[in-house]
Structure 1
Amino acid sequence: MQIRKRFGEILVEAGVITDSVLKTALQAQKKSGLALGRILEDMGAISDWDIACILARQFNLSAIQTISAPVIPENLQQVIDCDMAIKKNIFPIELKDGLLKLAISNPLDFDTLDKIAFKTTLRIEPVLATPTEIFKAIKRYYMHEEPTKASAPNKVLIIDENDLYRGIVCANLRNAGYQPFFATSTMAAVKLAMQENPHLILLSTTGNTAHAKKLIQNLQNNVVTQSRPVIALAAISSPEEEAALLSMGFFDVVFKPVNYVRLLARIERTIRFFYHEQIPHR
């Protein structure tokens, strides 16, 4: 009997993540109880498409990244209606010669597959897709919602030496609709800012006031970054630290460990204040 490999083992074996990242994620899983894939995605270590590909490999299924417009008979629409598609996060991709290709995000939902097969007398071929892609297809096909052209996301430059922490911040910003960039030093950040012209900068501080002052001065001395608001991600939580950072020229201060609801609210407020809800021109 073949033993199915664990999700994390496949990720490491495929070179998607390292052993150290997996260990960190497993430790976080013990504390939070969340699914390993969700934790790794929040850390910025993998994407939802990475998860779909690994699950497909784990369960010997095919995977689809983009769902094109299907042609589904009306009788099948009655079996897989909009409510069921949303509830089960499934979407019919193709019906041909008695075989229904069905996009799914949960490969363990055998009950749903069996019910559809029983009601339709069709053979079911499950295909892994991301929950986001399935939901987009449901909105396009069942709800007749035309995809809108997204406006350019606001750019946020993150300066932090810690790879793991920086990755988590990037992932949360990306999920919130921002376009994050990162650098490990202010000099590298200045060069990147000249290329990307960010709307806002997040600068991680270590608690060393002199070091923080040097970092903010490097940004203030550059023609591009001097006009951009900078939010400090401060290691020490105290009124004195906050006052010191604000007096140096930081627009706002968010203390670690970061509450991302609070951070995103501060970022949105800062962008509205500086740009009056308008994206600055490049």
Structure 2
Amino acid sequence: MRDWLERFVDDGTIGESQLEEARSMAANLGITPEDALVRLGYISGGDLGRAQAEEFGYDYIELEGRQIPHSVIELVTESLARENLVIPIESDGDSVVIAMNNPNNIEVLDKLRFVLNRDIRPVMAPLESITAAINRHYGQSETES
């Protein structure tokens, strides 16, 4: 089976040697080749997220500047959001749209379904924008005493 990352070589975003360098770095550091491509600066987190979303059939969203209602943020505790690198962005009562870097992570999806007792609709966002959104929104929430 062909590696989906070859699409970046096919479209000229990176060269074959850059992909091989990323694979080598990934093996040495115990990270994914995708993360290595971003760390090396060959592709941006946004480019990676859009490509992954397209490849795996998920919606892709930009979190920067997006205002998430406090009532939606409150659905997921700060510890759950930080531990799993997810952030809720919408809710319609029966389901919650969750931005995550890896919507194929069944363990996290199952945990969210169990904790929230709602259907979860995952959407893709770059890891760094999820982290920034968590810091922005949970940093603004007041703690109850």
AA at the equivalent of 1:140: R
In structure 1, runs of 5+ residues without a counterpart are 146-282
AA at the equivalent of 2:68: P
AA at the equivalent of 2:83: K
Q: 2:40 aligns with which of 30, 38, 43?
A: 43
Say which SS state the counterpart of residue 90 (structure 2) adopts.
strand
Per-residue deviation, 1:12: 2.1
Judged with a 3 Å threshold, the aligned counterparts in structure 2 of structure 1 residues 29 and 118 are, in CA distance, closer, same or farther, namely closer
Write the mapping of 1:227-238 to structure 2, written as runs, cut at 5 A.
none
Q: Give deviations 1:50-79, integer Å, cap 9, x for gaps.
A: 2211221232111112251112537x72x5
Are residue 71 (structure 1) and residue 69 (structure 2) matched? yes
Corresponding residue for 2:22? Answer: 25
Say which SS state the counterpart of residue 142 (structure 1) adopts.
helix
- The count of corresponding residues between Structure 1 and Structure 2 is 140
AA at the equivalent of 1:127: V
Judged with a 3 Å threshold, the aligned counterparts in structure 2 of structure 1 residues 121 and 14 are, in CA distance, closer, same or farther, namely farther
Are residue 91 (structure 1) and residue 71 (structure 2) matched? no
Say which SS state the counterpart of residue 100 (structure 1) adopts.
strand
Per-residue deviation, 1:89: 0.5
AA at the equivalent of 2:71: P
Corresponding residue for 1:127? Answer: 123
- Deviation beyond 4 Å, 4+ runs, structure 1: none
Normalised TM-score (structure 1): 0.44
Per-residue deviation, 1:32: 4.0
Q: Give deviations 1:214-234, integer Å, cap 9, x for gaps.
A: xxxxxxxxxxxxxxxxxxxxx
Per-residue deviation, 1:22: 1.6
Aligned-residue RMSD, C-alpha:
2.4
AA at the equivalent of 2:128: T
Q: Which has the higher contact order (CA 8 A, sep 6+)?
A: 2
Residues 7 and 54, structure 1, Cα contact 8 Å, conserved in 2: no
AA at the equivalent of 2:107: D
Write the mapping of 1:211-250 to structure 2, written as runs, cut at 5 A.
none
For residues 126 and 29 of structure 1, the distance between their equivalents in structure 2, rounded to whole angstroms, comes to 26
Say which SS state the counterpart of residue 17 (structure 1) adopts.
coil
Say which SS state the counterpart of residue 91 (structure 2) adopts.
strand
Judged with a 3 Å threshold, the aligned counterparts in structure 2 of structure 1 residues 138 and 43 are, in CA distance, closer, same or farther, namely closer
In structure 2, runs of 5+ residues without a counterpart are none
Per-residue deviation, 1:127: 0.9
For residues 138 and 25 of structure 2, the distance between their equivalents in structure 1, rounded to whole angstroms, comes to 38
Judged with a 3 Å threshold, the aligned counterparts in structure 2 of structure 1 residues 31 and 134 are, in CA distance, closer, same or farther, namely closer
For residues 97 and 16 of structure 1, the distance between their equivalents in structure 2, rounded to whole angstroms, comes to 41
Residues 25 and 36, structure 1, Cα contact 8 Å, conserved in 2: yes
Give aligned-pair identity as a percent.
26
Per-residue deviation, 1:116: 1.8
AA at the equivalent of 1:95: S
Per-residue deviation, 1:20: 2.9
